[in-house]
Structure 1
C-alpha cells in the first residue's frame, strides 16, 4: 500500500473520530470502513487481524449503547463548542497518554472550557458533571472504541 493511501486512510479515520462528536453522524461506521479499506488493500494477516478486532470491538460498543444514557446535549446547558473541545481533548489525550488519556483529555477540556465560560471552579465542575450525565458517557465510550481501533491500525502500520 502506498504512503498516499495510508495518509488517505488516516484522514478518513480522523473524519470518523470527528464524526463521533457530531450527533447523528456515523463516526463508528466511517472508522470501520477505513479499516476495511486498508485491510482489503493490504491483504496481510496483521491487517485482517486488525479488521476482525475492530469489527468485534465496534459491534460490542453497539451492543452496549442501550445501557448508556442517551445523548441529550441541549440538556447539559453547555454550548456545542464545549462538547467539541472535549472531543478534541480526548483525541489528543489518547495519543499523548495512550487509552487513559482519552478520559483525562475529554474531562479536562470540558472543565477548562466551562471554567473559562462560567468564571469559577465550582461552576466549572458542576457543568462537567452535567455534561457527563447528559452526553459525556455515551460520547466517551463510542470515541474510546474508535480511538482503540485507530490506535491498533496505527500500530499495525508503524510496526506491522
Structure 2
C-alpha cells in the first residue's frame, strides 16, 4: 500500500469513526459521514475491484438506515397520537439546551420541550407524560437504527480492507 493509499484509508476510517460518534453526540450528519468515508476509500484508496462492491453495500445500508430511521419511529409516534408540533418543540428546546448545558442539555431540552408542548395541548401533566415517553422512545429507536446502520457500514468497510 502506498503512502497516499494509507493516508486515504486513515482519513476514511476517521470519517467513519466521527460519523459513529456523531450518532451519540449530535451535530454532524452521521450516516453521510460514514458513507462518505467509504466513498473516499473506494475512489482514492487504491484497493482492488472489490471496493465497488463495498461502496454499493455501504450505499444500500446508508439509504436503508436513513429511510427506516424516519419511517419506523414516525409510524409509532403517529399511532400514539404525538403531534409533529410537540416534536418540533422538543427539537427546538433540545437545541437551546445543547448550548445552555453542553451535551446533556440536548436530551434535557428535548424531553422538556415535548412535555411542555403536550402539557399545553392536553392540559394535564398525567396525560402529557405518556406522550412524552412515547416521543423519547421513538427518538431512542431512531438513534439505535442509525447506530446499527453506521456500525454495519463500518463493518463492511473493514471487511473490504481485508478482502478488496
TM-score range, shorter chain: 0.5 to 0.7
What is the SS of the residue equivalent to 1:68?
helix
What is the SS of the residue equivalent to 2:50?
helix
**Separation (CA, whole Å) in 1 of partners of 2:15 and 2:42:** 14
1:13 aligns with 2:11: no
Larger radius of gyration: 2
1:152 aligns with 2:156: yes
Change (3 A) 1:154 1:62: same
**Separation (CA, whole Å) in 2 of partners of 1:50 and 1:18:** 22
**Separation (CA, whole Å) in 2 of partners of 1:130 and 1:14:** 30
Query: How many angstroms does 1:51 deviate by?
Result: 0.3
Displaced runs of 4 or more, over 6 A: 129-132
Aligned partner of 1:46 in structure 2 is: 50
**Separation (CA, whole Å) in 2 of partners of 1:23 and 1:4:** 27
User: What is the alpha-carbon root mean square deviation over aligned residues?
Assistant: 3.1
1:63 aligns with 2:67: yes
Aligned partner of 1:109 in structure 2 is: none
Whether the 8 Å contact between 2:70 and 2:142 is mirrored in structure 1 is no
**Separation (CA, whole Å) in 2 of partners of 1:46 and 1:131:** 41
TM-score of the superposed pair, with normalisation by structure 1: 0.57
TM-score of the superposed pair, with normalisation by structure 2: 0.56
Query: How many angstroms does 1:49 deviate by?
Result: 0.3
**Separation (CA, whole Å) in 1 of partners of 2:135 and 2:8:** 37
Q: Structure 2 unaligned segments of length 5 or more: list them.
A: 75-86, 95-100, 108-132
Q: Structure 1 unaligned segments of length 5 or more: list them.
A: 85-128
